[in-house]
């Protein structure tokens, strides 16, 4: 076996490495998503195959942007969940007058349309990358808009994913939301990208759908079309033309994963210590797919899909309808934790009157929107209260980006003032973790968002793939803050959940349980393995694993120390 080190097409037995998302495996033929064709900057603008007169080019540019935005909105209407959310936001990007006006200004000065568009996109992409956070992730979407506008202007084929004629491993430099929306997920065995990161759009879609995924895989785009590869998300590897023994091992892993799904009992350790196992959702459709699923409720309902990609905030009635669908789908016997709007300067909202910020990840986002747009929260709480009355199911409501006990108190007062009973906050900011007991004096529960907690603890943008080592959930410093939060919960006898993707790692789930976390929320596809891991270990064993992870020098050593403490049968079944 060799490891990929050169730029030519990888040969049989070569192992490409990247960052794995999830823990599943797949073997199948490669289908490459090729980049959009290069169109020269001076390419003529055409209509019906004929060049457009110079004085009509500005109108053609305006029409191209409008057509792309309309097509993206149409795709969003057919999609569900996060795909619909991000497509809507991408449509809004195509509608953004600042981008279009910059292009038109250059065109009216005599610059060719494609060159003007390329220059404008390059400027905005640099701004987004410098801003970091959510905007950095949107650079792929911005370039996708560019490619589609160029195709409209020049009469060239629009970029996209090729038709999948058989179950395949889809490989790309990166996938834009419009690409993902076009995938026939029934025929996608795995996703492999050369760029992106473990918390980016492609990774999220893979996790939600239980698709093996490896991102930041150097050499992936050099893979030959049609060659078989073995994708191992748990270990972050892609093996080219795998030998028979590798294929057999992958088949055994896949069979073991399927066997884990037969256990549908509530979550808990081997000695009966209860740990609620919950699902993360983004839309009412996601909730309705959980009606018959072995899940104890929803630990994170991301409400952004109702807000992003719109020129005006959704009305109270619109929100009430959506929230009621979620509560009705889960029923009165299952908990539903709703996160209020997590948006702001780094997730542009046309109706929030926000100004550009030099560092949006540290700016007006999440709960901090009450400083500039308080009616957004007031309307959302009103809608949630009405939905609760309509369905007879009271949601738990939590705010993102809380930093102080005072903010926690203000949010709890707003929640209860709206007629809702259970108020909580997200612990994503180290200050909130360090003052967890004081925060819990004000609210009924907390939920740890480990992705942002790692970002703020390690001072590393979680969407910068090259910093993935700093953002590892196994970083001892991050685990120390989780432990501090759990101690606060124990002292106040109040629930402490985790709704970040770290909860979907079976080994990390054991550590979190040992630290004192009382519920774990994740993509539904990750639940069987986590349920199995908990069932095979006692609470004392989980505590020993937590101690081992906290004492480790670095993430790799922490994970290895926990793996050494695994039950032998669990190690085999989980492929550790």
Residues 167 and 239 in one domain: yes
CATH code assigned at 385: 3.20.20.60
Residue 258, domain member (yes or no): no
- Single residue among 134, 154, 174 that ends a domain in this structure: 154
Query: Residue 139 corresponds to which tokens in the numbers above?
Result: 């650079």
Residue 254, domain member (yes or no): no
Residues 504 and 544 in one domain: yes
Binding residues: 302, 339, 428, 451-452, 462
Domain count of the chain?
3
Residue 362, domain member (yes or no): yes
Question: What is the distance between the alpha carbons of residues 64 and 53, in angstroms, rounded to a whole number?
Answer: 16
- Single residue among 96, 127, 154 that ends a domain in this structure: 154
In the chain, count H helices and then E strands.
22, 19
Question: Among residues 177, 246, 231, 282, which one has the least CA distance to residue 521?
Answer: 282
Q: Concatenated DSSP letters for 507-564?
A: HHHHHHHHHT--EEEE-GGGHHHHHHHHHTS-HHHHHHHHHHHHH-SSHHHHHHHHHH
User: Is 80 exposed, middle or buried (CB count within 10 Å of its CB: 0-12, 13-18, 19+)?
Assistant: middle
Domain around 22: 2-35+160-247
Look-up of token digits 């007629």: 419
3-state class (DSSP) for residue 281? strand
3-state class (DSSP) for residue 268? strand
Question: What is the distance between the alpha carbons of residues 482 and 497, in angstroms, rounded to a whole number?
Answer: 10
pTM summary value:
0.74
Residues 64 and 150 in one domain: yes
Query: Residue 249 corresponds to which tokens in the numbers above?
Result: 């091992």
- The one catalytic residue in 213, 499, 537, 542 is 499
Residues 324 and 462 in one domain: yes
Residues 505 and 429 in one domain: yes
Our answer to whether residue 213 is catalytic in this structure is no
Residues 15 and 57 in one domain: no
Residue 252, domain member (yes or no): no
CATH code assigned at 121: 1.10.274.10
CATH code assigned at 210: 3.50.30.10
Residue 312, domain member (yes or no): yes
Residues 60 and 25 in one domain: no
Contact, 396 vs 425, CB < 8 A?
A: no
| pLDDT of residue 194 exceeding 90 | yes
Question: What is the distance between the alpha carbons of residues 496 and 570, in angstroms, rounded to a whole number?
Answer: 26
Confidence class of residue 299 from pLDDT cuts 50, 70 and 90? very high
3-state class (DSSP) for residue 159? coil
Per-residue pLDDT tens over the stretch 539-567: 999 999 999 999 999 999 999 999 999 99
Confidence class of residue 83 from pLDDT cuts 50, 70 and 90? low
Residues 324 and 424 in one domain: yes
DSSP 8-class letter at 361:
G
Contact, 345 vs 134, CB < 8 A?
A: no
Residue 147, domain member (yes or no): yes
Our answer to whether residue 201 is catalytic in this structure is yes
Residue 253, domain member (yes or no): no
Residues 349 and 455 in one domain: yes
Binding residues for Mg(2+): 428, 452
Residues 513 and 570 in one domain: yes
The 10 Å Cβ neighbour count of residue 225 is 11
- Single residue among 217, 247, 277 that ends a domain in this structure: 247
Confidence class of residue 354 from pLDDT cuts 50, 70 and 90? low
User: Is 271 exposed, middle or buried (CB count within 10 Å of its CB: 0-12, 13-18, 19+)?
Assistant: exposed
Residues 78 and 166 in one domain: no
Question: What is the distance between the alpha carbons of residues 152 and 545, in angstroms, rounded to a whole number?
Answer: 56
Binding residues for phosphoenolpyruvate: 302, 339, 451-452, 462
pLDDT for the residue numbered 426: 97
129-to-6, 91, 350, 451, 496 alpha-carbon distances in Å? 28, 20, 20, 19, 34
Partner residues linked to 191 by β-bridges: 170, 213
pLDDT for the residue numbered 5: 39
Residues 317 and 278 in one domain: yes
Per-residue pLDDT tens over the stretch 137-177: 678 788 889 988 998 899 887 777 777 889 999 999 988 76
User: What phi and psi, each to the nearest 5 degrees, are found at residue 429?
Assistant: -100, 130
Query: Residue 426 corresponds to which tokens in the numbers above?
Result: 């997200």
- The one catalytic residue in 201, 213, 537, 542 is 201
pLDDT for the residue numbered 315: 96
Residue 260, domain member (yes or no): no
């Amino acid at each position: 076996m060799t490891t990929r080190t050169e730029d030519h097409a990888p040969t049989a037995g070569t192992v490409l490495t990247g960052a794995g998302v999830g823990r599943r495996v797949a073997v199948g033929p490669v289908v490459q998503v090729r980049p959009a064709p290069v169109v020269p900057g001076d390419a003529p603008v055409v209509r019906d195959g004929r060049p457009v007169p110079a004085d009509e080019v500005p109108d053609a540019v305006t029409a191209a942007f409008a057509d792309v935005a309309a097509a993206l909105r149409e795709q969003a209407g057919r999609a569900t969940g996060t795909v619909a959310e991000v497509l809507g936001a991408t449509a809004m990007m195509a509608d953004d007058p600042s981008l279009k006006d910059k292009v038109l200004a250059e065109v009216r000065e005599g610059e060719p349309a494609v060159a003007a568009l390329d220059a404008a996109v390059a400027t905005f992409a640099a701004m987004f990358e410098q801003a970091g956070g959510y905007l950095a992730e949107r650079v792929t979407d911005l370039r996708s808009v560019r490619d589609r506008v160029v195709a409209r202007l020049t009469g060239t084929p629009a970029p996209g994913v090729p038709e999948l004629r058989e179950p395949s491993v889809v490989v790309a430099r990166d996938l834009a939301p419009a690409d993902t929306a076009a995938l026939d997920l029934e025929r996608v065995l795995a996703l492999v990208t050369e760029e992106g990161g473990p918390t980016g759009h492609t990774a999220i879609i893979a996790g939600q759908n239980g698709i093996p995924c490896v991102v930041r895989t150097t050499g992936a785009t050099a893979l030959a079309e049609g060659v078989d590869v073995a994708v191992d998300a748990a270990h972050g590897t892609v093996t080219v033309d795998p030998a028979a023994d590798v294929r057999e091992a992958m088949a055994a892993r896949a069979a073991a994963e399927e066997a884990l799904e037969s256990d549908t009992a509530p979550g808990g350790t081997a000695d009966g210590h209860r740990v609620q196992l919950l699902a993360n959702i983004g839309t009412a459709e996601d909730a309705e797919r959980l009606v018959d699923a072995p899940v104890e409720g929803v630990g994170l309902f991301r409400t952004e899909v109702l807000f992003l990609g719109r020129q005006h905030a959704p009305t109270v009635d619109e929100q009430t309808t959506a929230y009621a669908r979620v509560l009705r789908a889960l029923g009165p016997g299952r908990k539903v934790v709703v996160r209020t709007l997590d948006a702001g300067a780094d997730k542009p909202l046309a109706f929030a009157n926000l100004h550009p910020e030099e560092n949006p990840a540290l700016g007006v986002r999440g709960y901090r929107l009450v400083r500039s747009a308080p009616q957004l929260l007031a309307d959302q709480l009103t809608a949630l209260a009405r939905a609760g009355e309509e369905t007879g199911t009271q949601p738990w409501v939590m705010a993102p980006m809380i930093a102080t006990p005072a903010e926690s108190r203000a949010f709890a007062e707003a929640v209860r003032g709206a007629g809702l009973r259970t108020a909580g906050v997200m612990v994503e900011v180290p200050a909130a973790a360090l003052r967890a007991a004081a925060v819990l004096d004000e609210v009924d529960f907390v939920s740890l968002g480990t992705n942002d907690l790692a970002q703020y603890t390690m001072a590393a943008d979680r969407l910068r793939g090259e910093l993935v080592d700093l953002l590892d959930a196994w970083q001892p410093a991050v685990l120390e803050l989780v432990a501090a939060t759990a101690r606060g919960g124990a002292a106040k006898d109040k629930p402490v959940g985790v709704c970040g993707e770290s909860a979907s790692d079976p080994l990390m789930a054991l550590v979190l349980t040992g630290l004192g976390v009382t519920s774990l929320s994740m993509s539904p596809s990750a639940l069987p393995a986590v349920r199995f891991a908990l069932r095979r270990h006692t609470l004392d064993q989980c505590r020993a694993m937590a101690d081992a992870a906290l004492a480790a020098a670095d993430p790799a050593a922490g994970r290895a120390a926990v793996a050494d403490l695994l039950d032998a049968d669990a190690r085999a079944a989980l492929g550790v």
